[in-house]
Amino acid sequence: MAGIIGYGFYLPKYRIKAEEYIKAWGIFNAPNVIEKSVPAYDEDSITMGVEAARNGLKWFNIPSKDISAIFFASTSSPYNEKLSSATISYAIGSTPNTFTTDITDTPRAGVNALFSAIDYVKAREGYAIIIASDVPFANPDAVYEHPFGAGAAAFIVGSGNNLLARFESSFCITKETLGERFRRNGEKFIRDLGLRTISYEPVITELLNGLTKNINCSIEEINYIAIQQPDGRSIYNTLKKQGIHTDVYKDGIIADKLGDLGVASPFFSMIKFLEKNEKRKRIAMIGYGSGGIAISFITEGSKKLLLKRLFEKDTDNKIYINYVQYLKQKRFLSSFKGE
């Protein structure tokens, strides 16, 4: 029986409020996002991922030498050719024979990596750690840049009886999404043509229908939904049309305070549900991008979580900046390219 045995996360301390964008541009094109996280000048998806992994191993008392596989997911790795997971492996002190792999190029890469890690653990002994870390970039004069935040989450996957949530089932669909959120080779900035061959809403609907069919349950038997959040409104519009009560997803909304965290988005949502520390609750975790993937878990509850409530405590540790400071922190005003 495989599942999640621990987690860690890291959020940059900086935040920018919607009103700062409005002062600069006269508009903030991120529905229901009040503020978002901002990476510091010297932070990227690897440095944040290392912190998330270290926190997870420390919080759940797992030695790094016991990690047999590292799955790193990101759309914003600082390297085009080099295993970021190998860098993370060295930084957290795992052994030289640790399996490492990077899963990239789509916002759903994090949930893809989690699915792969579960399969890995089913076939072998030991623990796998999934690090979903993202700092999405777009040209600052593009309105789709507005919701992009930054953050990293790490899930530790194992087997046995000491689980926070056990794997139940999954469902995946693949769609061609021409014109939606892409970045060509050699480009730093995400582009979006505003064209849609398929959109968020029908994909999420199809994923939930397929997942419930695989489990042989009704949509009402899903207690919580941890979902990819490109902004703070899409989740409401999509799930409301399916007749899903807000109690199923409202406590997992993170985009309103953190923005679009890319591959890390559904992980932070999932953490909020795990920190409820309830038993026998079914959670559907959904990643979106070129179709999507949905994984269902059944929570087990854990004494390790009784004194935590880590997420709410960490998100209160923040420093607000203005728009010019934001441009500086994200290197939009810097000639340094990191080369």
User: Cα separation of 163 and 280, whole Å?
Assistant: 12
* The pLDDT value given to residue 338: 44
* The pLDDT value given to residue 298: 97
DSSP secondary structure code for residue 277 in this structure: -
> Containing H/E element for 129?
strand 127-134
In order along the chain (339 residues), what is the average pLDDT of each group of 10 residues? 94 97 96 97 97 95 96 95 97 97 95 97 93 95 95 96 94 86 82 76 94 96 96 92 92 95 97 92 96 96 61 77 96 65
Confidence (pTM): 0.94
- Three-class SS state of 286: strand
User: Cα separation of 127 and 56, whole Å?
Assistant: 12
Q: Which of 111, 92, 39 is nearest to 287 (CA)?
A: 111
Domains located in the chain, CATH noted: 2-163+304-329 (3.40.47.10), 165-299 (3.40.47.10)
- Tell me the residue length of the chain: 339
* The pLDDT value given to residue 282: 98
The residue type of 169 is S
Q: Which of 61, 56, 7, 52 is nearest to 273 (CA)?
A: 7
Q: Which two tokens stand for residue 303?
A: 């004494």
Query: Number of C-alpha atoms within 13 angstroms, CB side, residue 18?
Result: 17
Pairing mode of beta strands 67-74, 35-38? unpaired
Q: Which two tokens stand for residue 310?
A: 């880590």
* The pLDDT value given to residue 339: 41
Pairing mode of beta strands 35-38, 14-17? antiparallel
- Three-class SS state of 134: strand
Q: Which two tokens stand for residue 148?
A: 């992009």
- Helix then strand count (H, E) for the chain reads 10, 12
* The pLDDT value given to residue 178: 75
* The pLDDT value given to residue 1: 85
CB distance 106 to 75 below 8 Å: yes
